[in-house]
Amino acid sequence: TEPQTILTERRDRVGLITLNRPKALNALNTELMTEVVAAVKEFDADAGIGAIVLTGSQKAFAAGADIKEMSSKTYAEVVGESFFGAWDELSRSRTPIIAAVTGYALGGGCELAMLCDTIIAGENAVFGQPEINLGVIPGIGGSQRLTRAVGKAKAMDMVLTGRQMKVDEAERMGLVSRVVPTDKALDTALEVATTIATKSAIATALAKDAVNRAFESSLTEGVRAERALFYSTFATDDQTEGMAAFVEKREPRFTHR
C-alpha cells in the first residue's frame, strides 16, 4: 500500500523522504511515524542507496507531534503502546540521514531533525521544544539530543521556556551544519547526500558509527572504538581501492565491499 503521509523518491543513489501533511504543518501522527520508519528501513536495506534526505515543506519541516491525536490519550495508553517509541529505530539506520529543515521544526519536529545525522537549514528555519506550553515535556529525545547539541544552558532555556530559536542562533550553537537560502535548502541537502553516496558505503557506515560513539561513551572508550573501526576498514576492498586510486592519481571506484 502506498504511504499516505509522506512522499518517497529515488534520485540516483539518494533516497528522498518528504513529509506530506501540509494541512497540519506535517504534525507527526502515528501513521506518519510508521511510514517514515518503514521508508528509512527500506532505503537503508537497499545497496543502491548511499544517503537519505528527510524534508518537509517551506512553511514547516514538522510542527511537532500531532496534538489532536495525542490530546485524549491516557497514561496507560502511552505506556502500553510505547507511544512514539518507534522513532528510535531511525537511529539504527546505517545509511546517513540528512534533514533539510525549512520553516517550523518544533517539538517532535525538532526532535526528528536531531534524530537525523546532520541538519541543513533554510534561512526561515525555526527550532523549538514548546512541549512545556502544553503541560508536557519532550518525548522523542529532545531533552537529550538538544543538550548534547547546544549544551545545558541553551537546552534548559529552550525546554523550560518553550521559546523558538531562529536559524542564526541555531547555527551559532552548532545545532545545524549549514544555513542556506530557504529555497536552496533541499537542493543543498541533496548535494550533500549525493557527495556522501559516492563514498564507500562501508566506510560511511563506520564513520557514522564512530562519530555517534562520541555521544554514547567516554573519550577513552570512544577513541578505542574508533581505532577498532579504523582497523576494520583495512579488511575492505574499498580501502585497497581508495588508497590505490590516490597513489595512481585517479578517481576511486568503490565497490562498497
Binding positions for ligand HXC, rule: CB under 6 A: 24-25, 27, 63-68, 83-84, 104, 106-108, 130-131, 134, 138-140
Asked if 174 contacts 127 with a C-beta cutoff of 8 angstroms, the reply is: no
- Selected catalytic residue, list 107, 108, 122, 139: 108
Q: Name the residue nearer to ligand HXC (CB basis): 61 or 254.
A: 61
Q: Name the residue nearer to ligand HXC (CB basis): 160 or 228.
A: 160
Cell of 212: 555517534
Q: Name the residue nearer to ligand HXC (CB basis): 135 or 250.
A: 135
Q: Catalytic residue at 201?
A: no
Asked if 120 contacts 99 with a C-beta cutoff of 8 angstroms, the reply is: yes
Query: Residue ranges of the alpha helices (H) in 28-130?
Result: 30-45, 67-70, 75-80, 108-115
The residues, any chain, with a CB within 8 Å of residue 129's CB and separated by 6 or more, are 106, 107, 110, 111, 138, 142, 143, 146, 158, 159, 162
Q: Report the interhelical angle of 237-247 vs 201-216 (nearest 10°).
A: 110
CA distance 193 to 97: 8
What does DSSP assign to residue 72?
T
Q: How far is the CB of 32 from ligand HXC (least distance, A)?
A: 11
Asked if 51 contacts 105 with a C-beta cutoff of 8 angstroms, the reply is: no
Of 196, 203, 210, the residue nearest 257 (C-alpha): 203
Q: Catalytic residue at 108?
A: yes
The residues, any chain, with a CB within 8 Å of residue 233's CB and separated by 6 or more, are 202, 203, 206, 239
Q: Name the residue nearer to ligand HXC (CB basis): 140 or 165.
A: 140
Q: How far is the CB of 177 from ligand HXC (least distance, A)?
A: 23
- Selected catalytic residue, list 111, 122, 141, 207: 111
Length of the chain counted residue by residue:
257
Q: How far is the CB of 130 from ligand HXC (least distance, A)?
A: 4
Q: Name the residue nearer to ligand HXC (CB basis): 10 or 68.
A: 68
Q: How far is the CB of 122 from ligand HXC (least distance, A)?
A: 15
Q: How far is the CB of 79 from ligand HXC (least distance, A)?
A: 12
Q: Catalytic residue at 169?
A: no
Q: Catalytic residue at 111?
A: yes
What does DSSP assign to residue 198?
T
**Residue located via cell numbers 527550532:** 127
- Selected catalytic residue, list 27, 65, 100, 189: 65
Residues marked as catalytic: 65, 108, 111, 131
